[in-house]
Structure 1
């Protein structure tokens, strides 16, 4: 429920009262004597869903152009006429607590902090996210999402587009662009210091860290996360759900990928940086597109729902631009997703073929271990580099011809991935104990 106070300009008093009478709204009117151009102050309670249509009627009557309107949350209203009004706006399944677009604009502005505070909080979030990714710590990465003030800026642009608020739209776009840039720049600086300090493990690819690897080689499922964040963000503002939790979800789609861009740039891995950058762009587009679609479907317009809205054309244009850009950027993600499926299928079929080969009598003393499909380092679009088969044996040393048989069974070709065999020696040290030692020698990449 809401409680409205309207300072009515001179010459508009009767128009306001006529509209309230026509809507059967209980009101209290008093004279306004401040000499500021207002003739009266009208106060009245409204169901939440009635705020938007009533203010629309006042605006169409030319009242709200110069009037001052204050909307306040009301705990309860005890009145038979108010109950009737609430039931009227709840007819046909429409009863609910959808926030009016006037209040929605205010909420978006409230969740968009002062720029200096916004920048400082994002810098802190970038430092925490970069540290978490370098340390491969999920808990630290989650902490960076909690402190990122991204809810308001991520949704302000979409709310501004759909409701025709150019200032709010510009603020939203500016905050999003500058915010992502700050996170990337801060991550580059911190990651460069970390590399100069010798934190790069010798001979180890920096992106082998799980938290980082999934950001530099994203798949189509990443889009689902960002789309869900956009929808949930709008619902949190319009339906009163927990904004804090949704803010973390939006930050999860933007902060770690942006930090991954900075880390990979600092390490000179520009292909991986491209992959993380594509993920950031895809998530930004997805959040904005989902927010616009959710707002439009919910019926938010600068005018009434059944009128021709001046923002219809701009909203469609922005949605089309976001949608087309998203489809273009989703193409490499589709390739990565297809590779993931192919890798899983190849690993499964390779395990089956290894088991079949080892069932032959000459290999009865061998036992199949893990089968791993390894990708090359050509980020973001990788390909299968080798298939590593682990064999458990009682004696050290490679088994002649085994790599050839496995390669033939798995079905690799001359231009395909290498089949590499690693041997693990099982040493029996007692009736109830057994240890396994990996033999450093393995099948040569050319042994097929």
Structure 2
């Protein structure tokens, strides 16, 4: 169940209440006239089954509630109510299959905004990965993968393609390209400093590195892994199972590939630089492709499921 807290101009409250009442899957409707002060208006509260949430939020936006007032949505972890159970049963579709597009766009917007914090996390992850590839240490590679925040912009691009939102796509693409460019430049400088301190040396780059050589040797398995990770990551976002994102993060080699490309470039090993760049591009492309297809399939299946349940 979802809990909606609305601030509604007084002249639109009746329309909002009628919209909520006619939406299948809603319950616990409450109206507190004149309770809101900034902006002024009425406070409207209700609960709605997750599978009916996207439809209701879309209807409320069509009434201009988001522009003239506000729409706040919260997940309800526990609801002991027969009315809530009935609302969930009446709502078309299954809760686990429902996609809240507004929530998805908001989540990807927050995680894909180019900011100092975003670049810092990506740069730190790339530097950690640089230490991992130079030491041929798989544990450091895994840690760097978990720190990297790059899945947010990738998911944002997939969402923008499905929702035909060019501004969101542009913002995510900017965050991705600028973020990786800045991280790789900083990592190249980091490698130079450690070389001057005697902690890095060319022999580390040229060594066999059995644990991390795959990073600059892309193949079709790398692309397949990226596809699977993109599907899993997208499903975790749409189903609010954020814990799965950790597994996604440590299954693809975006950050390690960027790190190896930066370090190899600093030592003028252009063979590894191009190989690592190919690995990076294969992973980024695979994740975006899989994420986009997953969202399209979810959208189609959800529409079919709702239509079938309404006919029944």
Report if the CA contact (8 A) 1:160-1:166 is conserved.
Answer: yes
SS at match of 1:210: coil
- Cα-to-partner distance string for 1:244-270 (whole Å, 9 max, x where unaligned): 5145236x3211111111122122221
TM value normalised by structure 1: 0.60
Structure 2 residue corresponding to 1:41, chosen from 30, 43, 48: 43
Q: State the match for 2:309 in structure 1.
A: none
Q: State the match for 2:250 in structure 1.
A: 249
TM value normalised by structure 2: 0.83
Which structure shows the bigger proportion of residues in helix conformation? Answer: 2
Asked whether 1:158 is paired with 2:161, we answer no
Report if the CA contact (8 A) 1:10-1:37 is conserved.
Answer: no
Structure 1 residue corresponding to 2:72, chosen from 49, 70, 73: 70
Q: How does 1:86-235 map to 2 (within 5 A)?
A: 86-89=88-91, 94-96=94-96, 98-112=98-112, 115-195=115-195, 197=198, 199-201=201-203, 206=206, 208-235=208-235
Report if the CA contact (8 A) 1:157-1:173 is conserved.
Answer: yes
Offset at residue 4 of structure 1 (A): 0.5
Task: Indicate the RMSD between aligned Cα atoms, in angstroms.
Answer: 2.8
Check 1:37–1:111 CA distance in 2 against 1; reply closer, same or farther (3 A cut): closer
Q: State the match for 1:334 in structure 2.
A: none
Whole-angstrom CA distance in 1 between matches of 2:74 and 2:201: 54
Which structure shows the bigger proportion of residues in strand conformation? Answer: 1
Instruction: List runs of 5+ in structure 1 lacking aligned partners.
Output: 307-448
Offset at residue 15 of structure 1 (A): 1.7
Report if the CA contact (8 A) 1:45-1:77 is conserved.
Answer: no
Asked whether 1:296 is paired with 2:296, we answer yes
Check 1:232–1:120 CA distance in 2 against 1; reply closer, same or farther (3 A cut): same
Offset at residue 97 of structure 1 (A): 6.0
- Cα-to-partner distance string for 1:261-309 (whole Å, 9 max, x where unaligned): 1122122221321121111112111111111111121118xxx959xxx
Whole-angstrom CA distance in 2 between matches of 1:272 and 1:148: 21
Report which of the two structures shows the higher radius of gyration computed on alpha carbons.
Answer: 1
Offset at residue 182 of structure 1 (A): 2.5
Check 1:127–1:20 CA distance in 2 against 1; reply closer, same or farther (3 A cut): closer
Aligned length: 298
Whole-angstrom CA distance in 2 between matches of 1:76 and 1:284: 38
**Higher relative contact order by CA 8 Å / sep ≥ 6: 1 or 2?**
2
Offset at residue 114 of structure 1 (A): 6.9
Whole-angstrom CA distance in 2 between matches of 1:5 and 1:205: 56
Structure 1 residue corresponding to 2:83, chosen from 81, 84, 93: 81
Whole-angstrom CA distance in 2 between matches of 1:95 and 1:214: 40
Check 1:227–1:58 CA distance in 2 against 1; reply closer, same or farther (3 A cut): same
Whole-angstrom CA distance in 1 between matches of 2:85 and 2:287: 38
SS at match of 2:202: coil
Whole-angstrom CA distance in 1 between matches of 2:257 and 2:210: 13
- Cα-to-partner distance string for 1:356-408 (whole Å, 9 max, x where unaligned): xxxxxxxxxxxxxxxxxxxxxxxxxxxxxxxxxxxxxxxxxxxxxxxxxxxxx
Offset at residue 139 of structure 1 (A): 1.2
Check 1:127–1:205 CA distance in 2 against 1; reply closer, same or farther (3 A cut): closer
